[in-house]
């Protein structure tokens, strides 16, 4: 089953008669999983048999789907094994290989987010309304760290959907998909219609320039980074208020050598409490006094319900954030915190992205 696309929360809810089930639209590979006893077959969106490329998914399905015969759909998303953050779709494509599959599983583990059940133990669910199918799904999928249901919320007001949408982007997703919950909300295989509506970011524009951001907090890692700092909370400098406003959490791009440097480099600046010069609603494991500057690049600048950079200037209740930030490898020891990229520069970059869209609109997928 496929979805149509609209560009505003108001249009979407109007099309769905005022209410719908909003779900995270994960940036991964859609899978239809067929289970019959211990036999698991995985089909792609194009109905290719991709079972051989995902032996880990086979195990997850065998262990976590608690029914003998099931056809269910999920999104497989690549996960950074050291930070737990979701990675973009391009990273998942490293799994599409015939050789070194075990190595690919280790380097690009996946999490599954189930969103629909089509068939369970002799019962065809495609003729059942969405919420009924969802209830069956909840009963047959046993959730754990790697297997989950899509995050969802019933929405009736445009502002509720808008808030949910911003949360999806903040989490590393493409946006939201909003589904009809009417009695007619059946599963229509192969059909593209208004029962499912995509609400994606209105532009995709790669950041061209790097930014210099200040470390204001640190998070402990997992996997090989367990017991070490695995990600850093970064901030831009608001020169008018003389404060550092959070703009991203970065855990990608660090080499083992970089990670080994961090404890010694950051330890003089560890603080029990948040600095009065730091404006952040995100709570790191460790607060740091603004001192160290790193060079960061990302995919784009988006609205954020979490980060405080330019808070309320574009939209009430939102700041700006860098999506999929990565450390470039440059520790800017030549710069003081006050020399970092300013909040107004982040705003200018965001406005530049919007201008590009107006000049050359991007076709929606």
Measured CA distances, 125 to 21, 23, 149 (Å): 18, 20, 17
In this prediction, residues 192-205 reach a mean pLDDT of: 77
Mean pLDDT, the chain, integer: 91
Confidence band for 178, pLDDT divided at 50, 70 and 90: very high
Active-site residue among 15, 25, 224, 356? 25
pTM above 0.75, yes or no: no
Query: φ and ψ at 354, to 5 degrees?
Result: -60, -40
Confidence band for 365, pLDDT divided at 50, 70 and 90: very low
Per-residue confidence (pLDDT) for residue 202, from 0 to 100: 56
- Report the alpha-carbon distance of residue 229 to residue 335 in Å, rounded: 22
Q: In this structure, what token pair is assigned to residue 329?
A: 């490898």
Which residues, in sequence order, are bridge partners of residue 237? 244, 342
Asked if 69 contacts 122 with a C-beta cutoff of 8 angstroms, the reply is yes
In this prediction, residues 193-222 reach a mean pLDDT of: 84
Per-residue confidence (pLDDT) for residue 363, from 0 to 100: 42
Q: Kindly report, residue by residue over 297-327, the tens digit of the pLDDT.
A: 998 899 999 999 999 999 999 999 998 899 9
Per-residue confidence (pLDDT) for residue 338, from 0 to 100: 94
Domains of the chain: 2-200 (3.30.470.30), 211-359 (2.40.50.140)
Picking from 317, 309, 311, the residue whose alpha carbon sits closest to that of residue 342 is: 309
Q: Kindly report, residue by residue over 225-280, the tens digit of the pLDDT.
A: 777 898 999 999 999 999 999 999 999 899 888 888 899 999 999 999 999 999 99
In this prediction, residues 109-125 reach a mean pLDDT of: 97
Known active-site residue 356? no
Per-residue confidence (pLDDT) for residue 205, from 0 to 100: 54
CB environment 155-191: b (16+ within 10 A), e (fewer):
beeeebbbbbbbbbbbebbbbbbbbbbeeebbbeeee
């Amino acid at each position: 089953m496929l979805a149509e696309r609209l560009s505003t929360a108001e249009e979407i809810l109007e099309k769905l008669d005022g209410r719908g089930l909003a779900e995270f639209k994960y940036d991964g590979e859609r899978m239809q999983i067929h289970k019959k006893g211990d036999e698991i077959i995985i089909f792609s969106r194009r109905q290719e048999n991709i079972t051989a490329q995902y032996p880990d998914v086979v195990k997850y399905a065998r262990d976590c789907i608690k029914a003998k015969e099931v056809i269910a759909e999920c999104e497989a998303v690549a996960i950074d094994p050291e930070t737990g953050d979701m990675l973009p779709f391009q990273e998942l494509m490293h799994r599409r290989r015939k050789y070194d599959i075990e190595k690919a599983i280790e380097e690009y583990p996946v999490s599954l987010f189930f969103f629909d059940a089509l068939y369970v133990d002799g019962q065809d669910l495609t003729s059942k309304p969405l919420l009924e199918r969802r209830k069956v799904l909840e009963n047959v999928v046993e959730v754990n760290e790697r297997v989950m249901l899509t995050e969802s919320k019933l929405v009736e007001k445009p502002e509720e959907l808008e808030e949910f949408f911003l949360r999806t982007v903040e989490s590393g997703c493409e946006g939201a998909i909003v589904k009809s919950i009417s009695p007619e909300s059946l599963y229509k295989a192969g059909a593209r219609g208004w029962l499912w509506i995509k609400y994606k970011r209105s532009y995709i524009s790669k950041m061209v320039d790097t930014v210099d951001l200040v470390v204001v907090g640190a998070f402990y890692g997992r996997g090989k980074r367990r017991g070490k700092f695995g990600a850093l909370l970064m901030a831009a400098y608001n020169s008018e208020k003389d404060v550092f406003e959070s703009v991203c959490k970065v855990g990608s791009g660090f080499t083992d050598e970089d990670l080994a440097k961090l404890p010694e480099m950051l330890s003089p600046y560890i603080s029990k409490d948040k600095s009065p010069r730091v404006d952040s609603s995100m709570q790191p494991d460790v607060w740091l006094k603004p001192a160290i500057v790193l060079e960061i690049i990302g995919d784009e600048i988006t609205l954020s319900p979490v980060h405080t950079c330019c808070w309320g200037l574009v939209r009430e209740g939102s700041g700006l954030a860098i999506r999929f930030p990565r450390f470039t490898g440059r520790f800017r020891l030549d710069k003081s915190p006050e020399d970092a990229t300013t909040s107004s520069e982040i705003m200018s970059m965001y406005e530049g992205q919007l201008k590009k869209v107006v000049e050359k609109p991007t076709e929606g997928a």
